[in-house]
Structure 1
Amino acid sequence: MSVGMALLLAVVAIGVVVFLIERVKLNPFLSLFIASVLLGFAAGMPATRVVSAFETGAGDVLGQIASVIALGTMMGKMLEVSGGADRIAMTVVSVAGARRVDWAMMLIGLLVGLSVFFTVGFVILVPLAFSIARQTRMPLLHVALPVTAALSVVQGYMPPHPGAMFALAAYHADVGRLIWMGAVVSVPAAIISGPLYTRFIVPRLPADAGAAAASQHGRDTPRDPAALPGFGITLFTILAPMVLMLAGSAVRFMGPIGDGWAAALRFVGDANVGLGLAALLSFWTLGLRRGLTKEKILACSNECLGPLASLLLMIGAGGGFGAELMASGISDAIAHAAVEMHVPLLLLAWGLAAGMRVAVGSATVAMSTTAGIVAPIMAHGHGVSPELLVLATGAGAVMFGPMNDSGFWQVRDTLGLSVPQTAWTWSVIETLIGLTGLGMCLLLGWCGL
């Protein structure tokens, strides 16, 4: 297949996905499935091969990350139900003081965001931001924007969030390396898009921006501190899976070691095992020790898994789309063209993800589609760290915060902003996260990591 034809088919397939999601309003899973099948037929693949390629790609991806996402969701639900997020917020703010409340909220967002999706974290923490703004007499946006930025940073760059886990599987990255490299990228991205930009933009917005929303939450009653879990045990529970995965990764990079402890660390450092142990730990530390019954914990575990069905199907379809590109030979043709044109792979991944973000709104769809295209190119010997490629894809996928992104409207409605004010806050924050992430990836790549 010629390079021109391969590029044309790839562009048309992506256009079909965008059209079906944005214009026809089809579910992303069905849109990706239809585009994958049409792509296979257009490339001249036999019908049986079209279907089997999609099934194989979807199965491979879901087999690696479905349980990780489910376990992480259970853990996040326990953090929400127990009031662990409230405890972290109260402790960090009390230590930081009113003058540094924006930095405190950024740290809270980074910590809580490790265990919950952006939407859930926003719902949990923004009411706390209303309360803290009232207590400290700070403008609402000065308190709420840094935590919003931090939640978005973690969603884009850190496992076990869906987009990062999909790209990790597609690029065959190491989860331990991704965690520490993601932390290196996340911290400056959160600082620039959170406290620094907040201090720049809030004085330039109308004085009443967010005031109406703040007044509506004026009667919120904070949870009784005595009923919340301790800060130390909550933080230990949140960080436990990260520590286990980092330990397992460190042992793997030490080479073959016959010691039993090394084998045990490799086992518990697996993403599935580590998150499974952390989920069980959260049932005890944030559940049974806080007086929750076994029946209540079971109900919470079951309740949080229901909304994952659509997300997992979408991720699986992204894997099927990528497999279709590979089986049809389209990805090979594009890979050879990229190699010959010497396109930096980090920039290619970032640009494709940013384009998909604008087109479909969803960062997860943008990451999954981009990873399906870029993964075969990486296999042609570009010498790029797969972990950096995951982060560059995530940086592109959070760019712009367009109006077809559900987060845009969630921020607007919750904080009581106008559309232009939301663009100057949420959309610019997302753009700063993406640009800072790209810059950090290029810097780390230049350093040889």
Structure 2
Amino acid sequence: MPLFILACGIFLLFFLIVKVKLNSFLSLVLVAMVVGYAEGLPIIKILPTIQSGLGATLGGLAIVISFGAMLGKLMAESGGAQRIATTLINVFGRKNVKWAVCLTGFVVGIALFYEIGFVLLIPLVFTIAVEAKIPLLEVGIPMAAALSATHGFLPPHPGPTAIAVIYNADIGLTLLYGAILAVPAVIIAGPLLYNTVKDLNPAVPQGLYSPKVFTEEEMPSFLTSISTALIPVILMAVSAVAKLTMSGDSVVQNVLVFLGTPDMAMSISVGIAIFTFGLNRGKSMTEVMKIVEQAVLVIAMILLIVGGGGALKQILIESGVGKYIGALMAGSNLSPLLLAWLIAAVIRISVGSATVAALTTGGIVAPLIAMSGVSPELMVLATGAGSLIVSPPNDPGFWLFKEFFGLTIKETVRTWCALETTISVVGLIGVLAINVFVG
């Protein structure tokens, strides 16, 4: 009965988001109430449980997500992202420009949400395609693949960071494992996948964008741009290495771990970005703060959706559904990693939202971690990989890719959907391979 109620709840979530077009946050909270009541949770405990789940999730994510948006916005408005792209193109040369764009998407994508990164980089993709006289998709597919992989695998992105909080995973270690998965996934789903769709050559759309092209003098240096963008990643990676190689009572380890906590790493990076991308570029503090405020406005609803996923997760835990599923799986030979991937994949195909798929899956399979002893970091990545699969037409990313690249529905399936599925499958294979060595 608990699983039947859960299935009905997930179906209701699909229905509200896909058919009714109800906002994802409202849908998650409403479904959390319904499922909690149906699962026998005392009515007096439903709202406190929702508040607890929402607060606990946002408590660990609000700074990371908000500061990540600020960092990305400052980088975009200063010309730092354009500097990274143009420098890499000059280094790689026009023949290998797709690899340069792929690397640009990977670097820029770490600090930006997928949709923001896509809209930010698409003018550069158009410009590069025209100037280098190469097919649009030759640079467009690698860019999209890099942004998508960072969205699914690498903290401080909201998806993997939120699941890391739910699974109580080490974010630094998740970042290291995620980087190991993301690199081959991007290569296969980006530059290599393009070779299968060379027959498609859409024209650069006219009138779809009005990019601001920065002059040489307006942009910060490449070293400044790339180092500022990578500060949070470097700090978290160093923290993870320190945990693995240093004694727990070491002062150096404690300092590095403190600096590498997501909140601290993002706080440091934003503080530096305010100077390197703002004050040092001739902007006043008032102008810089306006950019920061605009960034927060953009991600306000994303924060609520993430919190709504945390509320549903808490309802599933408090009502005993998680323990019930864990008990059913106790005697099963099915890997928890594969189970997490499958559940996330089904929800992703049904709902469209990768974030909703990941967070809903987190609430369902979280109890399996303690019962099975599986690596919580690999569970984060398995869930993230499953949440990326297919990207059906009920995913805004589907239409974003289709419209900007001027493709038909069939062509979008051949390119975008194939790209997302490739990243998902490569991610699963990578998770299972890493588990052989660390499991």
Instruction: Pick the TM interval, shorter chain.
Output: over 0.9
Aligned pair partner of 2:243 in 245, 252, 255: 252
**1:113 corresponds to which residue?**
109
Amino acid at match of 2:405: L
Aligned partner of 1:91 in structure 2 is: 87
1:19-418 mapped onto 2 (5 Å cutoff)? 19-202=15-198, 204-205=199-200, 209-211=201-203, 213=205, 216=207, 222-254=213-245, 256-380=247-371, 382-418=372-408
Q: Check whether the contact 2:126–2:204 (CA below 8 A) recurs between aligned residues.
A: no
Residues 103/77 of structure 1: CA separation in 2 closer, same or farther (3 Å cut): same
In the alignment, residue 409 of structure 1 is paired with which amino acid? W
In 2: Cα distance, 1:278 partner to 1:236 partner: 10
**In 2 relative to 1, CA 221–276 (structure 1 residues): closer, same or farther, beyond 3 Å?**
closer
Write the distance in 1 (CA, Å) between the matches of 2:46 and 2:415: 44
Q: How far is the alpha carbon of 1:259 from its aligned partner?
A: 4.3
* Distance across 2 between alignment mates of 1:310 and 1:338: 35
Q: Structure 1 counterpart of 2:273, which letter?
A: S
8 Å CA contact 1:66, 1:312 repeated in 2: yes
Whichever residue aligns with residue 227 of structure 2, its letter is F
What per-residue deviation string (whole Å, max 9, x for no partner) do you get for residues 240-293 of structure 1?
111111222333344654444333222211110111000000111111111111
Residue 212 of structure 1: how far off its partner (Å): 5.0
Compute the TM-score of the two structures, normalised by the length of structure 2.
Answer: 0.97
Give the direction of change, closer, same or farther, for the CA distance of 1:430–1:241 in structure 2 (3 Å limit). same
Tell me the amino acid that sits aligned with residue 89 of structure 1.
Answer: A
Deviates further, 311-320 or 293-302: 311-320
- Mapped contact 2:123–2:209 kept (Cα < 8 A): no
Runs (5+) with no aligned partner, structure 2: none
- Name the CA shift for 1:224/1:326 in 2 (closer, same or farther; >3 Å): same
Q: Distance in 1 between matches of 2:237 and 2:130?
A: 39
Local SS of the residue matching 2:111: coil
Shift of 1:28: 1.1
Q: CA separation in 2, counterparts of 1:220 and 1:13?
A: 43
Work out the percentage of aligned pairs sharing the same amino acid: 38
Relative to structure 1, the CA distance from residue 347 to residue 291 in structure 2 (aligned partners, 3 Å threshold; closer, same or farther) is: same
The separation in 2 between residues aligned to 1:321 and 1:219, in whole angstroms, is 40
Deviation at 1:395, TM superposition (A): 0.6
Letter in 1 for 2:401: V
Q: Counterpart amino acid of 1:338? A: M
What is the aligned-residue RMSD (CA, Å)? 1.6
Give how far 1:71 is off: 0.8
User: Shift in Å at residue 69 of structure 1?
Assistant: 0.5
**Amino acid in structure 2 at the alignment position of 1:140:** L
Structure-2 separation of matches of 1:441 and 1:336: 24
Q: Distance in 1 between matches of 2:415 and 2:137?
A: 9
Q: Name the amino acid aligned to 1:26.
A: L
What letter is aligned with 2:298? P
Alpha-carbon contact 2:162-2:359 (below 8 Å) kept: yes
Give a deviation string over 1:403-427, Cα, whole Å, max 9, x none.
0100111111111111111111111
Rounded Cα–Cα distance in structure 1 between residues aligned with 2:106 and 2:125? 15
How far apart, CA to CA, are the structure 2 residues paired with 1:14 and 1:227?
50
- Quote the offset at 1:152 in angstroms: 0.7
Q: Deviations over 1:347-388 (max 9, x none)?
A: 1110111111111111001101011111112221x1211111
- For the Cα contact (< 8 Å) 2:246–2:253, is it kept in 1? no
Q: State whether residues 134 and 218 of structure 1, in contact with CA within 8 Å, keep that contact through their aligned partners in structure 2.
A: no
State whether residues 242 and 256 of structure 2, in contact with CA within 8 Å, keep that contact through their aligned partners in structure 1.
yes
Give the secondary structure class of the aligned counterpart of 1:114.
Answer: helix
Q: Which residue of 1 aligns with 2:418?
A: 428
Question: What CA distance in whole angstroms lies between the structure 2 residues aligned with 1:221 and 1:170?
Answer: 40
Q: Which runs of 5+ in 1 are unaligned?
A: none
- Report SS of the residue matched to 1:200: coil
8 Å Cα contact 1:283-1:297 kept in structure 2 = yes
The 1:36/1:294 distance shift into structure 2, 3 A limit, reads: same
Aligned partner letter, 1:314: I
Q: Secondary structure at the match of 1:211?
A: coil
| Aligned equivalents of 1:7, 1:73: Cα separation in 2 | 37
- One-letter code of the match for 1:136? A
1:178 is displaced (CA, Å) by 1.0
CA contact (8 A) 1:158 1:164 kept: yes
Q: Distance in 2 between matches of 1:431 and 1:170?
A: 25
Q: CA deviation at 1:221?
A: 7.3
- Bigger drift between 311-320 and 262-271 goes to 262-271
Comparing 178-187 with 258-267, which one deviates more in the overlay?
258-267
- Counterpart residue type for residue 335 of structure 1: G
Contact map agreement 1:6 1:331 (CA 8 A) in 2: no
Q: Give the deviation of 1:342 after TM superposition.
A: 2.3
Asked if the contact 1:29/1:314 (under 8 Å) is kept, the reply is yes
Give the structure 1 partner of residue 427 of structure 2.
Answer: 437
Asked whether the 8 Å contact 1:131–1:222 carries over to 2, the reply is no
Aligned partner of 1:246: which letter? A
CA distance in 1, matches of 2:249, 2:174: 25
Query: How many residues of Structure 1 are paired with residues of Structure 2 in the alignment?
Result: 439
